[in-house]
Amino acid sequence: MSMNKLRKPEWLKANRLGNEQANKIRQYLSKFNLHTVCNSARCPNQGECFNRGTATFMILGEVCTRNCRFCAVEKNKALLAPDPLEPSHIADLSKELKLKHIVVTTVTRDDLPDGGASQFVEVLEAIHNTCPSSVTTETLISDLEGNWEALQTIIDAKPTVLNHNVETIARLYPQVRPMADYRRSLQLLKKVKEIDPEIITKSGFMVGLGETEDEVKQLLNDLYEHQVQVVTIGQYLQPSREHIPVKEYVHPDIFEIYRKYGEELGFIFVESGPLVRSSYHAERIQQYITK
């Protein structure tokens, strides 16, 4: 293996503001025995997002059943049963923090018969019963191994936004997401709209893994053709030496090209930049919702 390692450019320095609010939220999370993907996935925007009083709750534990080569979430450890108190704790904390847009994601739990869909449903129901009616919700789900009955239960629980990330271009799936399927992910996103046209569909992916500009544009075309409305595009950052290496640090100008291309296709909006992650500025969707 080559010892040459790409040096991070200046534009990949995250905003470190927000430590006071971040500490406050971490104390709450510890109090309620909750997790955020912000910590587990080592998101570079924790300071900025916590400073705005936003966080993405991660349900069903911190251990994943998949072997994606890009992800920092723990794998190959003991899996815990769903916590029956988790839904009420998320709802209570969301109310206490006066959150206006609540994002709920999960590790992939292929060990569960419904992929964890029932826990999503209980979380959404707890939020709807506890928080003001003006609160909007976003679920970032796995592909549920193509279990469309499980998907139906989540849709019936009425999240405002349903997000499922394709993560990378089709060609790189065998190297980056060997246990996932590109077409299945696209099918899931389209099926959401077929079942409930009012739910806003969202997806995201990384660049810097060896894809070409043409392949990224084809991915955007695929997402749009499968009725996705919102897209996030960010730079892949290697969590450790055991993970797939970064092939390229994509310049912000290229991210701007992707943003403009996506918006010209017809997406509601495209968040595109080196430090963008799935839940970055997620609350922005409220501008496009008529309640």
Residues 6+ away with beta carbon under 8 Å from 16: 47
Structurally, the chain folds into a number of domains equal to: 1
The verdict on residue 119 lying in a domain is yes
The verdict on residue 149 lying in a domain is yes
Residue 97 in this model has a pLDDT that exceeds 70: yes
The verdict on residue 217 lying in a domain is no
Residue with tokens 């969301």: 94
Full residue range of the structural domain in which residue 27 is found: 10-202
More confident residue, 160 or 74: 160
- For residue 238, which phi and psi values (nearest 5 degrees)? -70, 120
What six digits make up the tokens of 263? 């918006």
Q: pLDDT confidence of 167, banded at 50, 70, 90? A: very high
- For residue 40, which phi and psi values (nearest 5 degrees)? -65, -35
Residue 1 in this model has a pLDDT that exceeds 80: no
Axis-axis angle for helices 148-156, 182-195 (nearest 10): 40
- The separation between CA 198 and the C-alpha centre of its own chain, rounded to angstroms, equals 20
Of 263, 164, 239, 174, the residue nearest 210 (C-alpha)? 174
The verdict on residue 159 lying in a domain is yes
Q: Which amino acid is at 125?
A: E
CATH code at position 164: 3.20.20.70
The verdict on residue 63 lying in a domain is yes
Q: pLDDT confidence of 142, banded at 50, 70, 90? A: very high
Of 265, 286, 117, 267, the residue nearest 188 (C-alpha)? 117
The verdict on residue 228 lying in a domain is no
CA pair distance 129, 133, nearest whole angstrom:
9
- What percent of the chain shows pLDDT beyond 70? 80
CA pair distance 224, 235, nearest whole angstrom:
21
Residues 6+ away with beta carbon under 8 Å from 75: 63, 64, 65, 66, 67
235, HSE (Cβ side, Cα atoms, 13 Å)? 24
More confident residue, 258 or 24: 258
Average of pLDDT values for 90-111?
Answer: 88
> Under a CB-based contact definition with an 8 Å cutoff, are residues 103 and 52 in contact?
no
| pLDDT tens digits, one per residue of 191-235 | 999 999 999 999 999 999 999 999 999 999 999 999 999 999 999
The verdict on residue 113 lying in a domain is yes
The verdict on residue 100 lying in a domain is yes
